[in-house]
Structure 1
Amino acid sequence: MQTVARPEPIETMDLETRLLIVDDDPGIRELTAAFLTDHGYVVDVAEDAAAMRAALVRHAYALVVLDVMMPGEDGLSVLRSLDRTTAPPVIILSVIGEEVDRIVGLEMGADDYIAKPANPRELLARIRSVLRRNQGRPAAIASVQTASPERAYLRFAGWRLDPLGRQLFDPDEVLINLSDGEFRLLIVLVEHPRRVLTRDFLLDQSRGANAEHFDRAIDVQISRLRRKLQRSDGRGGDDLVRTVRNEGYLFTADVERR
């Protein structure tokens, strides 16, 4: 008597969730799309940057899985061009050993990364993790707006951070452009002032508990964030985010919510 394997249960949140797989390899596109479709997702595919942009115009996607190495415009260039305030979450695929791609991808706002060739089950787990992290954001924003018609800013050392609008203004009221990764990291620092935060904590809070620990990515983002926090008079940056040797980082300013 032949035993028939029972299909894995599909998580409720997966149903009717539309994903976009961007990869120049047709075999990888088809296999990945078929696997994710079997787990309840609606999956579209794109073979290059142009096809991806066309798909983003046609549909609203919950998440994009984006290959780095593609002919013509590569995945990092595409990621750099996205408006991270309106674009869907992105998981980048990079070749094993390409550490630079991983660091740069996270700096540009990718929500997660996975090495190629990607194990389908690991990719599925990463997709679910990113979707869970993003699922609560709209509700949280709605509750803040409902509770108070006045927008609450986080203010520190003359700076003004708008969590809802995802904007940072310097003491001269100049808008500072932050990547998605830089914004998330700054939020974690500002919400935990005058406390030493380990790299693991910063990674978990800004990327999610299921993110692969990658200390170098946090160090690079801290360095970039310090440059963004540098004032015209030369103060800021290193003064606001201090390195605590063998421990982590400390946000030194007092923070007010008003």
Structure 2
Amino acid sequence: MQQPHPFAQPVADGPAAPSARVLVVDDDPTVAEVVAGYLARAGCAVDRAADGPTALERAARNRPDLVVLDLMLPGMDGLEVCRRIRERAPVPVIMLTARGDEDDRILGLEVGADDYVTKPFSPRELVLRVQSVLRRTRPGPAAGPLAAAGLTLDPAARRATRDGVELALTLREFDLLAFFLQHPGRACSREDLMREVWGWDFGDLSTVTVHVRRLRAKVEDDPARPRLIQTVWGVGYRFDPTGATGAGEG
């Protein structure tokens, strides 16, 4: 649920993560200042950039733990900035967009963004999303490796392979694959996955759909005819480690 900007009130939540460095990229100085202020109050070290080239330079000089990235930027749009950042390192990206067109939001997810927030947004909600993503990047309790159908995943090392070849997964793709490996044969709705993987009880379910499609492209022999991550019509998805013939993409 989107809310208007409550710019007057500071965030009262605890730190997002110890010494978490967040790069805020937005050419609107008011938005950048407000977002940076809220993140700083939440315990983040914040860097700012107003255009794509500056964002890339600052991300290369001081690698951020997360990037809050506006889609509409002068000179180089946020999609290209996201592509280039993701080529260098698996840095989580939350994209900001003022556009109402779903295609633009999906494009952001397709190039590797982990989440998006549509303007106008609540800075408090944005901070909560940042905190959620950062928590998932921090090492949790030691967990053993997961393996099935030629896929192996090491949660402690945040490393996944397919038939011995390392997979280049975004934060959300990694967590999504981990969830599937932990729950083989379980039919999961998109709402289930949004709650269990993203940590949200509400949100745009197309985010889940796009991430499933991206994950299939990396783990399936034929993503158009998925055998591992199957569509369960009217429900959602099911991970089948036996690789039985799936129900198709969806």
User: Shared fold (TM-score greater than 0.5)?
Assistant: yes
**For residue 247 of structure 2, what is the aligned residue in structure 1?**
none
**For residue 245 of structure 1, what is the aligned residue in structure 2?**
233
Shift in Å, 1:182: 2.7
Question: Could you tell me how far apart the structure 1 residues matched to 2:10 and 2:184 are?
Answer: 48
Determine whether 1:106 maps to 2:109. Answer: yes
Shift in Å, 1:208: 1.8
Give TM-score, length-normalised by structure 1.
Answer: 0.74
Shift in Å, 1:201: 1.3
Q: Figure out how many residues of one structure are paired with residues of the other and give that number.
A: 235
Tell me the amino acid that sits aligned with residue 159 of structure 2: R
- Say if 1:226 and 1:237, in contact at 8 Å, map to a contact too: no
**For residue 24 of structure 1, what is the aligned residue in structure 2?**
27
**For residue 5 of structure 2, what is the aligned residue in structure 1?**
none
Shift in Å, 1:195: 1.1
**For residue 176 of structure 2, what is the aligned residue in structure 1?**
185
Question: Could you tell me how far apart the structure 1 residues matched to 2:107 and 2:223 are?
Answer: 27
Residue of structure 2 aligned with 1:195, choices 164, 186, 189? 186
Q: Can you list the C-alpha shifts for 1:57-76, whole angstroms capped at 9, x where unaligned? A: 33343332110111222112
Shift in Å, 1:236: 9.9
Tell me the amino acid that sits aligned with residue 226 of structure 1: R
Question: Could you tell me how far apart the structure 2 residues matched to 1:40 and 1:239 are?
Answer: 44
**For residue 138 of structure 1, what is the aligned residue in structure 2?**
139
Unaligned 5+ segments in structure 1 are: 145-151
Determine whether 1:216 maps to 2:216. Answer: no
User: Secondary structure of 2:134's partner?
Assistant: helix
Question: Could you tell me how far apart the structure 1 residues matched to 2:223 and 2:30 are?
Answer: 53
Give TM-score, length-normalised by structure 2.
Answer: 0.76
> Once structures 1 and 2 are overlaid, which stretch shifts more, 15-24 or 44-53?
15-24
**Matched-pair identity in %:** 40
Question: Could you tell me how far apart the structure 2 residues matched to 1:8 and 1:219 are?
Answer: 31
User: Secondary structure of 1:138's partner?
Assistant: coil
CA RMSD of aligned residues (A): 3.3
**For residue 161 of structure 2, what is the aligned residue in structure 1?**
168
Q: Can you list the C-alpha shifts for 1:78-116, whole angstroms capped at 9, x where unaligned? A: 222234894443211012413223223234433321111
Shift of the 215–123 alpha-carbon distance from structure 1 to 2, 3 Å rule, reads closer
